[in-house]
Amino acid sequence: MSDAPTPAIHDLGGASRYRCSPVERDEAPPDEFGKRVDAIRQILAQKGFMTVDELRRGIESIPEEEYFALTYYERWLTSISNLMVEKGIIPAEELR
Amino acid sequence: MSAPARPESLALLDKFVAALATRGLVTEQEIADRQASTDRASPEIGARMVARAWLDEGYRRLLLANGAAAAEQMGVSMAGAPPLGVLEDRPGLHHLVVCTLCSCYPRAVLGYPPHWYKSFEYRARAVREPRAVLAEWGTTLPPATQIRVVDSTADYRWMVLPMRPPGTEGWSEDQLTAIVTRDALVGVALPRLPVAAAAE
């Protein structure tokens, strides 16, 4: 075995844990929750409040257990809401 | 993957929108407008780009050299979108697109990525056993065909220009557009003739 560092949680390319799992062919479009989160993310980016790289950093720093438990757009919401708090745009208390 | 959001996430979203709205940063109207424009992007745009490239050599060259410019020619705004690269299949070479890190996808020309594209299984396996993944879509390539798996990233998005299937000589752009599915643009499937046309 090489002494390469363990990949970060989001770095799934080639991850052996999924080797024998078929791809679930889910064709449903995003639900209302997903579309809403998606739209808000785009608006915040367009207005210069955040970048795609910040979105990624927010997603990629979600602790492993939570990363795998949350749905796709829940991970996005976690990232963008944390970002807005971190930047002082929204006080954390209003999201509790 | 497409499980509904948990109640606490729905509540968080409501609080988040309220906090943004109170400060005049995002309005309900803006959200509705943005959602509507996002809903309008569909794989038919990418399919038409492929069909046009099959018919028009000048457009094919533009598509391969500058996918974003080729998309703009179809009336798609690429403002703010990352560059679009187009991977041309040829005999003996097939392309498959994945985003191993998350879900990067040329949304302006393909719409929302499907759930499976964002799934842990697809992201993990596409680079490791692409033939096994393709088989799940019923796609079998000759053993000698090389498969190039390309990782879409936050900075560069990819789509596939598949080979035009035999039996489509003389077809119009609309007819050709109809056989280019989203799956063919990602590379998990090949453009396929409808059974009736294939039998002619």
> Which of A3-7, B32-36, B61-65 is the least confident region?
A3-7
Q: Under an 8 A CB cutoff, do B3 and A38 touch?
A: no
Cα Rg, chain A, nearest whole Å: 16
Report the distance separating Cα B141 and Cα B93, nearest Å.
Answer: 10
SS3 A11: coil
Query: Average pLDDT for residues B138-161, to the nearest whole number?
Result: 96
* Model confidence at A1: pLDDT above 70: no
Residue B34, domain member (yes or no): no
CATH number of the domain that residue B79 is part of: 3.90.330.10
* Domain parsing of chain A, residue ranges: 30-95
Q: Which of B108, B119, B134 is nearest to B43 (CA)?
A: B108
Mutate to test the interface with B, among A9, A12, A16 (most CBs of B within 10 A): A12
Q: Under an 8 A CB cutoff, do B118 and A84 touch?
A: no
Residue B180, domain member (yes or no): yes
- Residues of B with catalytic function: 99, 102-104
* Model confidence at B136: pLDDT above 90: yes
Write the pLDDT tens digit of every residue in B94-122.
999 999 999 999 999 999 999 999 999 99
* Model confidence at A9: pLDDT above 90: no
Q: Is B4 on the interface with A (CB under 8 A)?
A: yes
Cβ-nearest to B15 among A21, A72, A94: A94
Write the pLDDT tens digit of every residue in B64-92.
999 999 999 999 989 888 899 999 999 99
Report the distance separating Cα B4 and Cα B109, nearest Å.
Answer: 26
Quick one: what percent of chain B has pLDDT higher than 90?
89
Cβ under 8 Å to A: B residues 59-118: 80, 82, 98, 100-103, 112, 114-116, 118
* Model confidence at B2: pLDDT above 90: no
Residue B27, domain member (yes or no): no
Residue B101, domain member (yes or no): yes
Number of domains in chain B: 1
Question: Could you tell me which CATH class the domain A30-95 is placed in?
Answer: mainly alpha
Report the distance separating Cα B191 and Cα B193, nearest Å.
Answer: 7
Q: What average pLDDT does chain B have?
A: 94
SS3 B98: strand
The confidence score (pLDDT) of residue A2 equals 60
Residue B145, domain member (yes or no): yes
Write the pLDDT tens digit of every residue in B36-61.
999 999 999 999 999 999 999 999 99
Q: Under an 8 A CB cutoff, do A23 and B19 touch?
A: no
Query: Average pLDDT for residues A18-31, to the nearest whole number?
Result: 89
Query: Average pLDDT for residues A41-58, to the nearest whole number?
Result: 94
Task: Calculate the alpha carbon distances from B112 to B62, B118, B188 in Å.
Answer: 25, 11, 17
Residue B14, domain member (yes or no): no
Expressed as residue numbers, the domain containing B179 is: 41-199
